[in-house]
Amino acid sequence: MKRAKGLTGVLFLILCLVVVLWAWADRASAAPIVLKVSHQFAAGDVRDQMGRVFGDKVTEKTKGQIRFRHYPSQSLFKAKDQWDAMRKGALDMSVFPLDYASGKVPQFSITLMPCTLSSVKQGVAWRNKPIGKKIEALMEQNGVKNVIWAWFDGGIGSKVRQIKLPEDVKGTKLRAAGKKFEYMLREAGASITSMPSSETYHALATGVIDTMLTSSASFVSYRLYEVLKYLNAPRDYSIWFMTENLCMSMSTWNRLTTEQQQVIMEVAGWMSENWIVQNFKTLVDELIQEFTKAGVEIHYMNKAEFDVWLEIAKKTAWTDFAQTVEGGEELLNLALEAMK
């Protein structure tokens, strides 16, 4: 009888332990996922805003199941280190210029190729085009998922002269932004120095470079009007468009439930339709306003000048990409097809 009571007591204790474990598991499963979002851009920059608006909407739609912690200004990882950090699962998300990883995935140079886009809206449309699907597949093969396509137009700034045509870069110390831009401008006679846009202010101030290409957003957020004298602004024509996408580590993506993944892509779709172009289209106006206020001499590229750049792009960057990068010719053709 005593033995039976003892067994009953043990069974009761086991049942209590199971209930406690179930309760603990429920609480653990209800604990929010906190995703780290890193980028090189200043807090308040439109790319920082993009990450925060996305995060806030996902948090709202998941009722707090997924939350975000933001690390602007390279406060968590250096600009180019973010790619490997996502690949290894050390970083959840980044607003990342894809061409920064072109040394490891050469095909990504198509996302910063001279004269292959004519507008930000055209670039954002890559999300539904064969070229975009090709790049997204390459990203996933390399451990990173594309979430939002974010394209930026850009211009040419200099301390020494107005850069209107390729011949004007001869003898300059130039930051080109992108391997194929570097190739084209080296062929035109520039001396090339590679660096992320976050380092260009100091490089201009100290004479490491005297001429540079970057996005309209970066020209303003890094206050480059303080160290430049000339600007070829992308108001009417631009040879420079770059994708700086919101990306996610595949390790992080695979940790999410199907429902959570669905919310991520629903918010990404909403932002592509309702936020990206609407918030990026004012960047050129802000650029012109800030550089005018600072007394920088501004030039606006015309069609004849663009056509000269187009010809040198075809002979240098386009040809080199098609001939030296696996699948390069196909990607170039798909990019050009997406312009139509």
Nearest-angstrom CA–CA distance, 228 and 166: 19
26 band by pLDDT with thresholds 50, 70 and 90: very low
94 φ/ψ angles, rounded to the nearest 5 degrees = -150, 145
Q: What is the pTM of this model?
A: 0.88
Nearest-angstrom CA–CA distance, 189 and 51: 38
The closest alpha carbon to 105, from 91, 90, 86, belongs to 86
- Which residues on neighbouring strands pair with residue 242, listed in sequence order? 152
CB 46 within 8 A of CB 217: yes
Q: What percent of the chain has pLDDT over 90?
A: 90
340 band by pLDDT with thresholds 50, 70 and 90: confident
Quick one: average pLDDT of 77-90? Answer: 97
**DSSP 8-class letter at 223:** T
The answer on pLDDT for 60 being more than 80 is yes
pLDDT in tens, 271-299: 999 999 999 999 999 999 999 999 999 99
pLDDT in tens, 105-138: 999 999 999 999 999 999 999 999 999 999 999 9
Cβ-proximal residues to 115 (8 Å cutoff; 6+ apart), any chain: 239, 306, 309, 310, 313, 314
Average pLDDT of the chain? Answer: 93
Nearest-angstrom CA–CA distance, 150 and 275: 10
- Which residues on neighbouring strands pair with residue 154, listed in sequence order? 215, 240
Quick one: average pLDDT of 57-75? Answer: 97
55 band by pLDDT with thresholds 50, 70 and 90: very high
pLDDT in tens, 189-209: 999 999 999 999 999 999 999
Nearest-angstrom CA–CA distance, 192 and 177: 10
Helix axes 258-274, 46-61, angle to 10 degrees: 140
Q: What is the 3-state secondary structure (H, E, C) of 119-138?
A: CHHHHHHHHHCHHHHHHHHH
Cβ-proximal residues to 100 (8 Å cutoff; 6+ apart), any chain: 79, 80, 82, 83, 196
CB 140 within 8 A of CB 107: no
The answer on pLDDT for 19 being more than 90 is no
Q: What is the pLDDT of residue 198?
A: 94
Quick one: average pLDDT of 80-100? Answer: 97
The answer on pLDDT for 20 being more than 90 is no
Q: What is the pLDDT of residue 173?
A: 98
Nearest-angstrom CA–CA distance, 196 and 128: 29
Q: What is the pLDDT of residue 12?
A: 52
Q: Which two tokens stand for residue 127?
A: 């999300």
Quick one: average pLDDT of 171-186? Answer: 97
The answer on pLDDT for 166 being more than 60 is yes
Q: What percent of the chain has pLDDT over 70?
A: 91
Q: Is the torsion defined by CA of 164, 165, 167, 172 positive or negative?
A: positive
**What SS3 state is found at 299?**
strand
Instruction: Give the amino acid at 331.
Output: L
Nearest-angstrom CA–CA distance, 254 and 305: 47
Q: Is the torsion defined by CA of 33, 37, 43, 46 positive or negative?
A: negative
Q: What is the pLDDT of residue 284?
A: 96
Q: Return the exposure string of 199-225: e unless at least 16 CB atoms fall within 10 Å of the residue's CB, then b.
A: bbbebbeeeebbbbbbbbbbbbbbebb
